[in-house]
Amino acid sequence: MTQRLHLVFGGELVSPQKNVFKDVSKIHVVGMYPDYASAFSAWKAEAQRTVDNAHMRYYIAHIHRLRDEAAAGSSTEEFGG
C-alpha cells in the first residue's frame, strides 16, 4: 500500500498577492501527515490561528506526488548506483 504523505508548512509572505516567503529560514513546518484529512485539519488550525496577519499563508504539499516509486532512481539518488 502506498503512503499518501502530506506536509503542512507556512510563513510570512512578501506580499499577499504572491507566493514568495519573506524569510525562508523562518518557514514554520507544522508537520507530516499520513492522509489529507489530518493535514487539512492541521492546515486549518494554523490558518485560523494567523488569520489576523494577511501576509501569513499555510500550505499543504502532497509529498506522495513528488516521486514515483516504480521509476528507476538516478545515480545521485542511489548514491553512486
Where do the domains of the chain lie? 6-65
pLDDT for res 80: 45
The answer on pLDDT for 24 being more than 80 is yes
Q: Considering the domain 6-65 in this protein, what is its CATH number?
A: 3.30.70.2400
Strand partners, 13: 21
pLDDT at 4: 86
Q: Is the pLDDT of residue 65 over 90?
A: no
Q: Contact at 8 Å (CB) between 57 and 10?
A: yes
Query: How much is the pLDDT for 81?
Result: 43
Q: Which long-range contacts (CB under 8 A, 24 or more apart) does 65-68 make?
A: none
Q: What pTM value is reported for the model?
A: 0.77
Say if residues 8 and 46 touch (Cβ distance below 8 Å). Answer: yes
pLDDT at 28: 97
